[in-house]
Structures are given as structure tokens and as C-alpha cells.
Amino acid sequence: MVRVKICGISDSATAVVAAEAGADAIGLIFAPSRRRVTAAQAREIAAALPPFVTKVGVFVDEERGRIEESIAACGLGAVQLHGAEPPEFCAGFRVPVVKAIRVKDASSLEQMTAYQVDAFLLDTFDASALGGTGRTFDWTLAIQAARTHRTILSGGMTPVNVVEALTRVVPYGVDVSSGVETDGRKDHAKIRDFIRRVREWDVENQYPRVTYQVQTWRP
């Protein structure tokens, strides 16, 4: 089953909508961003979620001590490191680590071999932004990465293109933020639609259909 993360959630009502729709994880951004949450907001959101939805803290070149404090204070189940963190920095956390790779070209994937992390998130490279660009990158590169690494596809995901992305890349997971927003705010209908399309794809592609042949018994 493809994992779904709804990132950039900043209120508990939206977090609950995502969880009830079937999201596996929600992203709480602690880095400078219009979607940034405070520790108090993160705790409130975490408290509203059911126990098996993972709270992922998103950090950009943050001090290790601050990340560890946030893990403990906010009940984070994983961290996503979205900056220029070197391989040695990403090791030794008490929770799973997802390292974001901003994909510009094929050379962007070369650094993946240096990291010992639990998964990679592939996002679109933009010289002026670290994420949330709303633009896709060359998915043939994601296909290559997904063959050898646990890969979460991000960058320009929307309810419209997610099925194509899943069919072409077959990633471990998908991550969406701006693609489920309207006028810069999370749109609950788009969140539900995005997750529904992923789950429908799961049924069609991950679980083979069984055809039963009815036979008539004769004594």
C-alpha cells in the first residue's frame, strides 16, 4: 500500500480530516515557511490525531538539539530533513529519518548512496524555495530512484496527476502540500480527493482481482 503524507498542516481540524480520509502521516513544518507551526500548535495537532497516524516534523538545517527537543515535546514519530544536512547529521535520531533530495537533474540522485536513512523524499529543485513549489520534476529520475531506495514522491502532486505519478513511478509514498490547497489554505475536499485516488489505485494495482468460476454440482 502506498503511504500518503499530507504536509504543511497547521490546524487540528485539517489534521483530523486527513486522518479520517486515510492519510498515513501529516507533516508539521518547523522551518521558516508560511505553513510553519509553533511547538504549541504542533502539540495541539498531535493530540487531535489517532495513534497510528505518524506526525512528521519537517526541519531545514536545524540544530540537532532543537530537533530532539521537538521530537520529545511534540510526539513526533519521524523527522524530515529538508536542508543541506550531511549524512553524519542524519544518523542516530530516536525516530525514523526521511532525507529530502531536491531534484534538478540526474546528478541530484548521486548523493543518495551516501545517506543511511529510512527513506528519501524527492522534491523539485528551485533556487528560490526549499519546497512547496507546486511544480513537478522529471519523473524518469524518480523511477530510477524508486528501484533502489525507499522513495517518497513529492513536488507538484495534485489529485489530478497523482494516479499518473503512481503508475509511472510506483513509489513507497507520495507527499502533497500546495496541491491540496486553495488560495494558500488547505482544502479539505482536495485532501479527501487526493487520498481517495491513491487508495483506489492501491486496490487496482496492489491487490490482484480474483475471478471465481461457478460450477454446477452433479451427483
What gap in Å lies between CA 70 and CA 67, rounded to an integer? 5
Which DSSP state fits 106?
Answer: G
| Annotation says 123 is catalytic | yes
> Per DSSP, what are the bridge partners of residue 56?
27, 78
| Annotation says 74 is catalytic | no
Catalytic residue among 24, 74, 123, 175: 123
Of 113, 120, 116, the residue nearest 175 (C-alpha): 120
What gap in Å lies between CA 95 and CA 79, rounded to an integer? 7
Q: How many CB atoms lie within 10 A of CB 133?
A: 19
H or E stretch at 100: strand 97-103
Of 136, 137, 170, 138, the residue nearest 151 (C-alpha): 170
CB 79 within 8 A of CB 97: yes
Catalytic residue among 7, 24, 74, 175: 7
Which of the residues are catalytic?
7, 123
